[in-house]
A and B are shown apart, each in its own frame.
Chain A
């Protein structure tokens, strides 16, 4: 069992028209965290920095007391990194890949690799070029975890997979966290992946970490759609103090604390109400401009 933590302090990566950060993250072993963000928000850049594939312009990244950087290749014994498009050698088999990796990693667990090869239902002798995308992703993940990786960084690995395979992968990620105390950071566009495979969520937007919260916190919130007031008529609903407000067509969407909703629901003129979902937080955060920043609730959004 590992005792190391991932610590990211003030990481900045600058491009001509984009800047990631400053980003601060702390993740502990056995935690599963989802990273949500639009295309170009900086998810891949952040994961590349965390995997030591990219040198940040400022800031420090540590796994325990070891620095993660391009030069410190030995740290890769503890890391597993899977990208959206797994880069594998097409002309050889899964067995060849595993055999190669087993000689390269010091802590390669052949028993675990063989067990998960079966679990993933991968034909060991078939050439990789004959694999489907899902099989390639599985093989890539298998290589990334079979050396007893403590930190698993997954950059949209399930993107483009069919629902069955995605569902299966979500279960595997949960297994890894519960059985091996692996620390997982999963980037995805798919709310379902994050909801089913992780416990904490980070939302990144335009290179900045906008919100960090636990999926448990969602239970305290209710999503409502308020009907638009008719012309020249005073709004029917009493004023609320939502965590987020955003427009969806003519309706106004709000995320309200459950207690507040219960208190004023009879007076509210809403067309729809349900338990808050991850997508509500995401859309709320994306469609709320910085100038009309929401009423940030302690214990919910620890970041803004």
Chain B
């Protein structure tokens, strides 16, 4: 079976494992964004700055927990490694799943895009990120999985969160910033910042950690 199909099967497996939780989260997101779109109608775009940054950051954390830490703690990485799957396939499937889940996130805030059409840019950006990750897997670029577990993400995610907030503050403080950056809803900078930085963290850490490790070192 072609490696790419195995990757898709792994992605389906990961989503299947957490489908109930995902449905709850997406429902909450849609509800939240609907409420926020009403609030922002009256009080300006401030809530839209905070909501997506927080949700993106924490969902990223949860998704990593589901995709990586639970496999480490449950020892299922060991089982996956007894199957005819390359390490690269396992890693790629995790990253594609993460990209897909993060890409669905802005879809959940689609109602706010109806209030402010600029939000549609979010879909475009996340789509591009997902497609890039997907292509990099097909073309054999080294995309690795962070196996250190979600706990290791807490600090990086807070750094990302702070950076995102700092960027937003800068955008509003300095008049030389282009107007379109100041008026953009926060999904765009948060997604633009979080996704590549997370991917870079993942790549860097996993380069150090994966492939050369014995399977017994991939469990907690």
Say if the beta carbon of A25 comes within 8 Å of chain B.
Answer: no
Evaluate contact between A101 and B83: CB separation under 8 angstroms. yes
Nearest CB of chain B from residue A138's CB, rounded to whole Å: 15
What's the least CB distance linking B74 to chain A, in Å? 6
Asked if A74 contacts B84 (CB within 8 A), the reply is yes
A60-94 vs B, CB cutoff 8 Å, 1 = contact: the mask equals 00000000001101101101110101111111100
| Residue pair B16, A88 in contact (C-beta under 8 Å) | no
Partner of A90, one of B1, B74, B77, B85: B74
**What are 8 A-B residue pairs whose CB atoms fall within 8 Å in the complex?**
A48-B216, A53-B216, A54-B216, A55-B214, A71-B211, A87-B77, A104-B83, A105-B83
Contact B87 A73 (CB under 8 A): yes
Bound-state CA distance A71–B85 (Å) is 10
Closest 6 CB pairs between A and B? A87-B75, A53-B215, A54-B214, A76-B84, A87-B79, A81-B82
CB closest residue in chain A, given B20: A91
- The verdict on A269 contacting chain B, using a C-beta distance below 8 Å, is no
| Bound complex: CA A100 to CA B79 (Å) | 12
Nearest CB on A from B80, distance (A): 9
Q: Which residues of A contact B84 (CB under 8 A)?
A: 73-74, 76-77, 104-106
CB pair B214 A88 closer than 8 Å: no
Contact between B78 and A87 (Cβ–Cβ < 8 Å)?
Answer: yes
Minimum CB–CB distance for A104 against chain B, Å:
5
Q: Which of B13, B76, B79, B81 is most buried by chain A, counting CB atoms within 10 A of its CB?
A: B79
Contact A100 B215 (CB under 8 A): no
CA distance A54 to B211 in the complex (A): 11
Which chain B residues in 140-188 approach chain A with CB under 8 Å?
none
Given the complex of chains A and B, what is the CA–CA distance between A181 and B78 in angstroms? 26
Q: Are B17 and A91 in contact (CB under 8 A)?
A: yes
A140's nearest neighbour on chain B, judged by CB, is: B79
